[in-house]
Every structure is written in structure tokens, then in C-alpha cells.
Amino acid sequence: MNGVDISIEGEVGEPPGPERTTTLVLRILDILGISGWEVSLLFCDNARIRRLNHDYRDKDEPTDVLSFSQIEAPFPAAATSAATRSIHAGDVVISLPYARAGARELGIDSEEEIKRLIVHGILHLAGYDHSDASLDQPMLRTQEDILSQLTEERLF
């Protein structure tokens, strides 16, 4: 069984609904075949994510999403090793103001962008990685495949 802890920090505007966000995260983990994970999700402002980006990635700028995995085993072993116990998989941090600005630039709904960032962050927790933003990256193809399966899940 998976679990989700959602926190909000700073001036973020209207955050996604916690029940719907929890359902979304649990659905993503189900699609990936992951059980026994505890995932923390923090919605924050640009100032908070900028500090985290500086402290952990030496980049003094805000970003849309950061992931901090607590899993040492590679995916899929990390996903299946927790069958009998629960593990804290890690933390996904999303700047809602940054995500909303990005959605406006892309001409898409902010909910769609926030869902994309949640999927993206969870994939990083699961050990996926990418070298750039092109959709020919296996991780980003997986991300878009998962998003296509999430048509019913609403955050707001």
C-alpha cells in the first residue's frame, strides 16, 4: 500500500485539492507497478524552490520541480522491494507559481502542467533520468504515456 504526504509552503495561490492530489499520486504509482512507497509532495513558492535549487544543485534560480530520492536500489527493484514494508521513497517539490507561469507560456491549462510535474518528479524518485527536454528521451516518453492514462484525474 502506498502513501502520500502533501504540504504547502509560501505564497502559492490556490493549491491543488489534497484528496485529488493524493488520488493522482496513488494512481501514478499504480501505473508504474509500485507498492509500499511513501511519497512527500511539497507545493511551494519560487523563493523556497530557489533556495533548494541553490543548496542542492548549486543553481541560484527557481525551477518548476525538484525530486529528492531516498531510494538506493535502481528501478524497478526499488519499486518491488517494498512489497512487505513501506519505505519513504523521497520528496517531490513543485513551485506552483513557476508551474503556472510555464503553463501560460506553453498555452496549456495549469492543472495539466502541475500533473505533468507530479509525474515527472515521481519518475525521478523511481530512478528515471533524462539529459534534455526532448520527447525522444525514454523518461519523457514514459511521462507522456502516464499522462495519457490520467485523463479522469482532476486536481482542482
Write the pLDDT tens digit of every residue in 40-57. 999 999 999 999 999 999
Contact 123, 150 (CB under 8 A): no
Higher pLDDT, 72 or 6: 6
Query: Is 156 within a domain?
Result: no
Query: Is 42 within a domain?
Result: yes
On the question of pLDDT at 8 being above 50, the answer is yes
Give the model confidence (pLDDT) of 106-145 as tens digits.
Answer: 999 999 999 999 999 999 999 998 877 767 788 989 999 9
Query: Is 154 within a domain?
Result: no
Distances from the Cα of 105 to the Cα of 8, 49, 76, 110, 148, angstroms: 24, 20, 35, 10, 21
Query: Is 115 within a domain?
Result: yes
Query: Is 134 within a domain?
Result: yes
Domain that holds residue 28: 3-149
* Residue with cell string 543548496: 55
Rounded to the nearest 5 percent, the helix, strand and coil shares of the chain are 45, 20, 35
- pLDDT recorded at residue 81: 47
- pLDDT recorded at residue 82: 47
Give the model confidence (pLDDT) of 145-155 as tens digits.
Answer: 999 999 776 77
Query: Is 73 within a domain?
Result: yes
- pLDDT recorded at residue 79: 53
Query: Is 26 within a domain?
Result: yes
- pLDDT recorded at residue 77: 47
Domain CATH code at residue 97 = 3.40.390.30
Give the model confidence (pLDDT) of 56-87 as tens digits.
Answer: 999 999 999 999 999 876 555 455 544 557 89
- The tally of domains found in the chain comes to 1
